[in-house]
Structure 1
Amino acid sequence: MHRAAPDLRRARHAGLRADLAAALAAALLVLVAVLVGRHIQDTRRTLFVHWPPLFADWDPHLGPGTAAAVLVAAAVVAYGPSVAVRLPWRGLLAAAWGTALAWTWSLALIDGWRRGVAGRLTAHNEYLTVIGRFHDIPATLRDFTHHIVSGSPAPWPAHVAGHPPAATVTFVLLDRIGLGGGGWAGAWCITVGSTACVAVLVALRALTDERLARRAAPFLVAAPAAVWVGASADGYFAAVAAWSVALLALAVTGRSVAWAAGAGLLYGLTCYLSYGLTLFALIGAAVLLLERRRVRARPLVLVLLLAGAAVVPVVFTLAGFDWWEGYRLLVTRYYQGVGGTRPYGYWVWADLACTVLITGLATAAGLRRAGAALVHRRSAPAAEIRLAVLVGAAALAVLVADVSGMSKAETERIWLPFAMWLPAGCALLPRPRAWLAGQVTLALLINSLLFTGW
């Protein structure tokens, strides 16, 4: 016993040093991306971002949300870990959503109501600029692919052309029920997007254990990704995708096989919100892998999952929209614009620096811990291995998106749905308050020193 105590201390110190090394490596990646990106943009003008690797402008500022953001950040650091342990489970879920709402709203309002919320989705490349063209939704869906490529008659703005029509139809329907305009659209994205952390918690509890889910809660709530959830449509996409995985986790762990139909329905919707989010199949596959014995014993789960996943594609196909044709034309549109000029050799690694900025340095350390759990899976606790598989699936989805070349720049917004899962690895970190302090400080600095484009 006397020999074991020093060995344990040495192991803990070695683990902490490795965590700090991972965080330092992530910070250096960001620094190199900034310096190299600045040089490329100043000399060649091929990045099309003003503060590489982020789509942002240098603009130190305060706003009406500054004081609230600082207070929320301080509360999460001071009380988050202890409150997450003590609250009843349902109370924790409600508290997580409420805190995520407060954090996201306060960060958005650092930029002010117009710049931070109401004006985000009314910019010239955004969804609300085409609401009037959807007065006949079925007719517009039948004609949708005819306006994707630049040079076609009345081409869609970049974001409308770059996504399947379910994204735009969402805001059309909000307008139809009287919630039109940028304010309501921004509020929708923030309110729905803030539930993503709750979905991840539900999945973690079902697939790993409640202790790890509780440890992850403060990191999921306070992720720097909230800077872009408020207010971009990708925050809304992230929540839909996250709930598809959460419902699948509930279905395969025996709560009710009916959840599988809901999981499939939301996954189908996810694919019609963003082409790239088909990669969420990797995270869903990780869920099925972790619970493969139960899935084999309850094949109805797969039947309901596939049936649910077919609903949205069938509806849009019958309405006249061809997803595959839309994607093919999007690739053409992408290379017609800045996507054809932005250098792959820079963005293939600088996009990963963007991921560091939206997930934080603590997440780099958490990913190291998750990787160590997989390497030492014979001795690691089963719950930690299962957590590592989930986080690893999200990281794999990011890497596939990265090497595809269809995500050169602006990934701080585009990869939000995947980024919501990566901070779950922080549940494996000791001394959570110190890591949380780094997370919220990064978010405050980004939102206060830069004016982000989304």
Structure 2
Amino acid sequence: MTILQRSRPSSARARLSRASRADIAAAVVAVALIGIAAVVGGLLYLAGRPVQASSPPFYAHWLPHIGPGTPLALAVAVLVVWQGPKLAARLAWRSLLVAAYAAAVAWTLSLALVDGWQRGIAGRLTTKPEYLHEVPGVTDVPAMLRGFAARILDFQPDSWTTHVSGHPPGALLVFVGLDRIGLAGGGWAALTCVLAGAAAAVAVPETVRLLSGGGDGRLATGWRRGTRGSVAVAEPTEAARAAVPFAVLFPGAVWVGASADGLFAGVAAVGVMALARGLTRRAPVSAFFGGVLLASALYLSYGLTLLAPLVLAVVVLARRWRPLLLAALGGGAVVAVFTASGFWWWDGYQLVVERYYQGVASDRSYGYWVWANLAAFTAAAGLAAAPILRRAVLGRPSTPQRLLPLAAMVAVLAADLSGLSKAEVERIWLPFSVWLAAGAVLLPPPSRRGWLIVQAATALLVNHLLLTSW
């Protein structure tokens, strides 16, 4: 063996070691950002300039505690870390997605149950600022839609509560619909949010598979070096399979269970997945359904207009435009129904911006939250998001595992700079943070189980040290 031949493996190991150290450094920076945001928030409070969040950068109360969900959450975390990567590599694709959904539901519910059934699940959506407070008053849905915008501004006798006023009527309609079919009360509402939010654990890896050119979902083995410099290029189905355990142990599940934003995240993720399927599989029904879901997302939350970068990434990766016409028809049908019913989206948005500054947002410092928001987002996305983003930025191939996380970050930065998201973003930005798991394959295989442990630990620490609220 020549000196040159001996030096090549050594050189490869050195590059891998440097990259691993850089990954750890990125995660340390993320931890430091959270710590600095907490310290600065505390100092501002002592200086008489509170940032209007009880435990900055989180909208939560400091309350170390355990609950009935503690052993369940630990058990789910251990099982997914121990067996998740192995099952992701071996199971048939459809079976894997079923298992992923079940595990995501178990993870989310167990985290919520750390706070107990009433405080963590059944009572979450029944407080005065929440949706269920308004449900009994909706006796005529068409009349509610016609008069919805007139009740957005605060300081009126019939002003909507905080969460209802801050969103289009689609969100309220979901809970009114549950009530009308006999699933009334906070327990059913919370379970709906959990079940919908857990769908992201299926939608994210399936979208990666579709856009990677994966066929039947069978394992493509190996971690090969591409010809594009030193960038690792995964086989199509490997990229999707690597994302599954990370999508399951999503730290943001702390806020999915149980908040309406978990519901929004699930609807949006399935909408993106359906669009990807329509564009890559010549599936007109999927394209139409994707348009329906994505437009419906706009009537759940005004902020979901920022799904645009993700949609653009899907279109660029799919390289097919014609099915977009079907998606536009589906989306247009949703817009037409709401508009014909008397609610014009743009009017609602303008009034919500005005309502935003009628409340506590006017007392929240942009100078603090414009960067502290990113600390809260980091906790929801998980510390593994830091090395994933580092590798996505530095990588060169235009792959789903790179473009989807980067598109999500473009959406987050746009929301952050707008000033219309100050605090509570660990919950509000769930529809974007779920997509960081799409880049899991960028992490070297030997390190993935370690990063899964970090993800699980992040969620467990947040949920046991803080009592989240919204």
Give TM-score scaled by structure 1 length: 0.95
- Deviation digits for residues 415-435 of structure 1 (CA, Å, limit 9, x no counterpart): 000011012222211211111
Q: Which of the residues 305, 316, 321 maps onto 1:289?
A: 316
Match for residue 437 of structure 1? 453
- Which of 418, 421, 426 in structure 2 is aligned with 1:407? 421
Q: Residue 23 of structure 2 aligns to which amino acid in structure 1?
A: D
- Runs in 1 of length 4+ with deviation above 6 angstroms? none
AA aligned to 1:150 is D
Aligned to 2:103: 99
* Preserved contact between residue 200 and residue 266 of structure 2 (Cα < 8 Å): yes
| AA in 2 matched with 1:406 | L
Residue 408 of structure 1 aligns to which amino acid in structure 2? K
2:46 matched to which residue of 1? Answer: 42
Task: Specify the alignment match of 1:368 in structure 2.
Answer: 390
Q: Show the counterpart of 1:87.
A: 91
Tell me how far 1:45 sits from its aligned partner.
4.4
Q: How does 1:52-201 map to 2 (within 5 A)?
A: 52-201=56-205
CA contact (8 A) 1:199 1:246 kept: yes
The one-letter amino acid of 1:187's match is L
How far 1:187 moved relative to its partner? 0.6
One-letter code of the match for 1:120?
R
- Residue 442 of structure 1 aligns with an amino acid whose one-letter code is T
For residue 341 of structure 2, the aligned residue among 306, 319, 323 is 319
CA RMSD of aligned residues (A): 1.0
Can you list the C-alpha shifts for 1:101-120, whole angstroms capped at 9, x where unaligned?
11000000000000000000
1:342-353 to 2 correspondences below 5 Å: 342-353=364-375
Q: Which residue of 1 aligns with 2:410?
A: 396
| 1:216 pairs with one of 243, 246, 249 | 243
Q: Is the 8 A contact 1:367 1:426 kept in 2?
A: no
Confirm or deny: 8 A CA contact 2:41 2:50 kept in the other structure. no
Q: 1:243 aligns with which of 267, 270, 277?
A: 270
Cα contact 2:310–2:404 (8 A) shared by 1: yes
* 8 Å CA contact retained: 1:365, 1:426: no
Read off the aligned partner of 1:416 and give its amino acid letter.
Answer: L
- Displacement of 1:62 after TM fit? 1.0
2:125 match: secondary structure: helix
Q: How many residue pairs are counted as aligned between the two chains?
A: 441
Q: Please tell me whether the aligned partners of residues 228 and 413 of structure 1 are also in contact (alpha carbons under 8 angstroms).
A: yes
Aligned to 1:275: 302
Task: Indicate the structure with greater helix content.
Answer: 1
Contact 1:38-1:52 within 8 A present in 2 as well = yes
Partner residue of 2:435?
421
The 3-state SS of whatever aligns with 1:179 is coil
Contact 2:190/2:257 (<8 A) preserved: yes
What is the identity percentage for the equivalent residue pairs of Structure 1 and Structure 2?
50
- Contact preservation (8 Å) 2:400, 2:438: no
Aligned to 1:57, the other structure's residue is in SS state strand
- In 2, Cα distance between equivalents of 1:53 and 1:106: 24
CA contact 2:45–2:51 (8 Å) conserved in 1:
yes
What residue in structure 1 maps to residue 222 of structure 2?
none
Give how far 1:390 is off.
1.4
Shift of 1:360: 1.1
| Whole-angstrom distance in 2 between the partners of 1:178 and 1:114 | 20
Q: What displacement does 1:41 show?
A: 2.5
Q: Secondary structure at the match of 2:441?
A: helix
In structure 2, give the amino acid aligned to 1:227. V
Question: Which residue in the other structure is 2:351 paired with?
Answer: 329
Write the letter of the residue equivalent to 1:237: F
Q: Deviations over 1:269-316 (max 9, x none)?
A: 000000000111210111111122x32xxx2x0210110111221111
Letter in 2 for 1:405: G
Shift of 1:255: 4.2
Gaps of 5+ in 1: none
Which deviations, in whole Å up to 9, do the C-alpha atoms of 1:214-238 show, x marking residues without a partner?
Answer: 0111111101100000000000000
Deviates more, 1:433-442 or 1:418-427: 418-427
- Aligned-partner Cα distance in 1 for 2:171–2:50: 29
Larger displacement relative to structure 2 (233-242 or 421-430):
421-430
The residue type paired with residue 87 of structure 1 is L
Alignment counterpart, residue 28 of structure 2, candidates 24, 29, 33: 24
TM-score, normalised with respect to structure 2: 0.92
